[in-house]
Copies of this chain bind each other. A is one copy, B any other.
Amino acid sequence: MKWVTAIIKPFKQEEVREALSAIGVTGMTLTEVRGFGRQKGHTELYRGAEYQVDFLPKIKVELAVQESQVEQVVEAIREAARTGKIGDGKIFVMPIDHAVRIRTGETGPNVL
């Protein structure tokens, strides 16, 4: 089982969820995060003083998937989240040792 973490643009959230549902993903977890990267931030005003805001609002999508599904999932996110403009974000895949469903105590592939 793998842990897929994707950082995406907030307004792409709905499209990504739909793309994932379309390929049979039934669970995921989202977090509001702030991203720093190549995409430049913006200037804000406060009483006539300007200051630079480097962090931009992003959404972090995290989901555990079967090893066999990883490629498909990454692909689905990539396509749905892509605008082609800087700041589209990244996807990272990490290993999972073990998973448990709290309700039933099931472990392994059944958890998903």
Partner of A93, one of B2, B81, B85, B99: B99
**With a CB–CB cut-off of 8 A, which chain B residues contact A94?**
3, 94-97
Contact A29 B34 (CB under 8 A): yes
Q: Is A19 an interface residue (CB 8 A)?
A: no
For the complex of A and B, list the 5 residue pairs with the smallest distance between their C-beta atoms, beginning with the closest: A88-B103, A93-B98, A88-B102, A27-B37, A91-B100
Contact B78 A105 (CB under 8 A): yes
How many residues in A have their beta carbons less than 8 Å from beta carbons of B?
A: 54
Q: Is A22 an interface residue (CB 8 A)?
A: no
Partner of A91, one of B36, B95, B99: B99
Contact A96 B100 (CB under 8 A): no
Question: A16's closest neighbor in chain B, by CB?
Answer: B102
